[in-house]
């Protein structure tokens, strides 16, 4: 299979089941929505080192938010439900409660599996906090120096998918970066997904464990490092001199597949030799995204 001259390898991306929450942040203006969102999603690229994976899903207009103000939707993901509850309380408490004019709402109201967030953050009010039940949903009003912080008591969680990916194999660093930027831009518009790495792009793809240090959970993916071609078992054709990876998380497998399809289409242009994907032989993750099937629309 080729798309605009770019070879699509007959392989698959291997992904994992994760717990996901959708957070809706609103504020008086887009300035403060963005300020809170950027802080909340900071240092959240991989559960390997960050304990959480998070990203901005999309901007929300005032017509789409619970309080009629500008907002944003954020997906936050961990490997387990209990861990997700901890990360929600930590991050919302430190980055949204602290940000001027913000409020915070659950973005998965239909999810039956729920965790306490406002119910934990309310104690910051030191006994001065107040609750309000609207349409059967409890909110907490926490007094702060600026006024008050409104936060929903419980947030819904779902089983999502983390680690969908594809590799861009290019003739030069410039070609790889241009293709990766185009892919990330195309995928940013896809609903139900996030790209947790900086700018949506990963240059330090990893393999499981290490050949030399047994305590390492992951180490550099030497088979795809062009500078190691002469000293390791390389997976790269001679014409490839730069590789970048796109990692995508989402609320379900169809959302991941749709996002990957858009990204791969956008990445196929001059200077790109092939599109591949990262997997571990299908032994670690239950979700397998076969590149050719995705691009054929299956």
H or E segment and range at residue 23? strand 12-26
pTM: 0.94
User: Where in the chain are the domains?
Assistant: 2-15+160-295, 18-158
199 and 187 Cβ atoms separated by less than 8 Å: no
Question: Per-residue pLDDT averaged across 193-206, rounded?
Answer: 96
Q: Are 2-15+160-295 and 18-158 in the same CATH fold?
A: yes
- Residues 29-45: b if buried by 16+ CB within 10 A, e if exposed: eeebbbbbbeebbeebb
Structure tokens at 99: 């940000």
Query: What is the token pair recorded at 125?
Result: 């009010």
Kindly tell me if the per-residue pLDDT of 281 is higher than 90. no
CA distance 8 to 76: 31
**pLDDT digits 0-9 by tens, 128-171:** 999 999 999 999 999 999 999 999 999 999 999 999 999 999 99
Residue 74 CA to residue 37 CA, distance in Å, equals 8
What SS3 class is residue 230?
coil
The verdict on domain 18-158 having CATH code 1.10.1060.10 is: no
Please name the fold of domain 2-15+160-295.
Alpha-Beta Plaits (3.30.70)
Is residue 188 very low, low, confident or very high in pLDDT (cuts 50, 70, 90)?
very high
* pLDDT at residue 25 in the model: 98
Q: Which residue, 170, 168, 134, 132, is CA-closest to 149?
A: 132
Please, which residues have CB within 8 angstroms of residue 49's CB and are 6 or more apart in sequence? Answer: none
Phi, psi torsion values for 261, nearest 5 degrees: -60, -45
Q: Is 59 exposed, middle or buried (0-12, 13-18, 19+ CB in 10 A)?
A: middle
pLDDT at 43 > cutoff 90: yes
The rounded percent of the chain whose pLDDT value lies above 70 is 100
Reading the block at residue 204, the tokens are 């330090």
Q: Please give the average per-residue pLDDT across 118-126, as a whole number.
A: 98
Q: What is the pLDDT of residue 298?
A: 59
Q: Is 141 helix (H, G, I), strand (E, B) or coil?
A: strand
28 neighbors 147 (Cβ within 8 angstroms): no
CA distances for 127 relative to 134, 196, 286, angstroms:
21, 37, 46
> For strand 147-152 and strand 103-106, is the pairing parallel, antiparallel, or unpaired?
parallel
């Amino acid at each position: 299979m080729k798309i605009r001259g770019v070879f699509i390898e007959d392989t698959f991306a291997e992904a994992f089941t994760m717990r996901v929450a959708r957070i809706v942040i609103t504020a008086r203006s887009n300035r403060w929505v963005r300020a809170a969102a950027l802080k909340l999603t900071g240092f959240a690229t991989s559960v390997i080192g960050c304990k959480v994976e998070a990203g901005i899903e999309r901007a929300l207009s005032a017509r789409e938010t619970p309080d009629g103000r500008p907002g944003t939707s954020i997906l936050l993901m961990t490997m387990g439900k209990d861990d997700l509850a901890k990360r929600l309380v930590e991050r919302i408490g430190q980055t949204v409660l602290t940000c001027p004019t913000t409020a915070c709402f659950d973005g998965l109201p239909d999810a039956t599996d729920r965790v306490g967030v406002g119910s934990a953050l309310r104690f910051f009010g030191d006994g001065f906090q107040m609750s309000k039940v609207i349409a059967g949903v409890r909110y907490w009003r926490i007094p702060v120096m600026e006024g008050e912080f409104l936060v929903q008591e419980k947030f819904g969680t779902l089983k999502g998918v983390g680690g969908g990916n594809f590799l861009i194999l290019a003739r030069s660093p410039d070609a790889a970066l241009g293709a990766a930027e185009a892919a990330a831009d195309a995928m940013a518009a896809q609903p139900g997904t996030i790209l947790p790495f900086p700018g949506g792009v990963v240059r330090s793809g990893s393999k499981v464990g290490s050949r030399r240090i047994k305590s390492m959970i992951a180490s550099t993916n030497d088979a795809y490092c062009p500078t190691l071609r002469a000293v390791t078992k390389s997976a790269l054709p001679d014409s490839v001199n730069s590789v970048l990876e796109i990692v995508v998380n989402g609320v379900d497998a169809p959302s991941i597949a749709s996002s990957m399809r858009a990204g791969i289409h956008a990445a196929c242009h001059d200077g790109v030799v092939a599109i591949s994907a990262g997997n571990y032989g299908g032994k670690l993750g239950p979700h397998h995204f076969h590149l050719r099937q995705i691009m054929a629309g299956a």
